Amino acid sequence: MRARLAVLALLAVLVALTACTPEETRHWLAWNASDPAAAQAWLASEEGQAKVAETPPAPVERGGCDGIYDELLAQGASSGVAQRLAYSIAPRESGCSPQFVHDGDDWSYSRFGLNGLTANLRTNWMTWCGADVRSDTQVLSVDVRCALAAYDRMGWAPWS
């Protein structure tokens, strides 16, 4: 019973505090089931302790429309507003990625088609969301902040 508790404690440390992937954890569990002395000796070794001490990998940020949706929610948008901006407007305006557009009526990287062509619009964006939409909107959090500022002030009019 005491040995089983020790294994469970080691497993808890291995899973909770390490950079082990689920695959590595399953491998170690299988190894521990077939040769507990060797698996536990490895875990107590310098190599095992180094693995336990590794910083877990940062979560992967979702890209595309899903990443836009996540950022909209993180910035306080309602689910309905986030869905419409991320899954209706952003795909139509940019394909959900920051692409530089400079034509007769647009100049920005915005995923939402926010325009930075005229001086008046550039002044508005700086006032509303603290950004130059021509370049700052390459950063998702800035682009979302500006789109939400536009929605808060004008509703869906910018995208009608």
* CA–CA–CA angle 123, 124, 128 (5° rounding): 125
Is-above-0.85 flag for pTM? no
Given a cut of 70, whether residue 66 has pLDDT beyond it is yes
Query: What is the average pLDDT across 40-65?
Result: 74
Asked whether the CA dihedral 151, 96, 77, 126 is positive or negative, the reply is: negative
What are the φ/ψ torsions at residue 37 (nearest 5 degrees)?
Answer: -65, -45
Tens-digit pLDDT profile for residues 80-135? 999 999 999 999 998 998 877 777 767 788 999 888 877 777 788 889 998 887 78
CB 130 within 8 A of CB 139: no
Q: What is the pLDDT of residue 101?
A: 76
Domain that holds residue 18: 2-53
Alpha-carbon span 123 to 73, nearest angstrom: 26
What are the φ/ψ torsions at residue 23 (nearest 5 degrees)?
Answer: -60, -45
Map residue 106 onto helix, strand or coil: strand
Q: What is the pLDDT of residue 138?
A: 87
Same domain for 49 and 88, yes or no, is no
Name which residue leads in pLDDT, 157 or 26: 157
Query: Of the candidates 12, 32, 53, which is a domain's last residue?
Result: 53
Name which residue leads in pLDDT, 152 or 57: 152
Alpha-carbon span 70 to 81, nearest angstrom: 12
Name which residue leads in pLDDT, 19 or 113: 113
Same domain for 46 and 106, yes or no, is no
Same domain for 126 and 145, yes or no, is yes
Map residue 31 onto helix, strand or coil: helix
Query: Of the candidates 32, 53, 74, which is a domain's last residue?
Result: 53
Alpha-carbon span 20 to 158, nearest angstrom: 47
Same domain for 85 and 144, yes or no, is yes
Q: What is the pLDDT of residue 17?
A: 44
Asked if residue 137 is part of any domain, the answer here is yes
Count how many domains the chain has.
2
Alpha-carbon span 116 to 7, nearest angstrom: 60
Asked if residue 122 is part of any domain, the answer here is yes
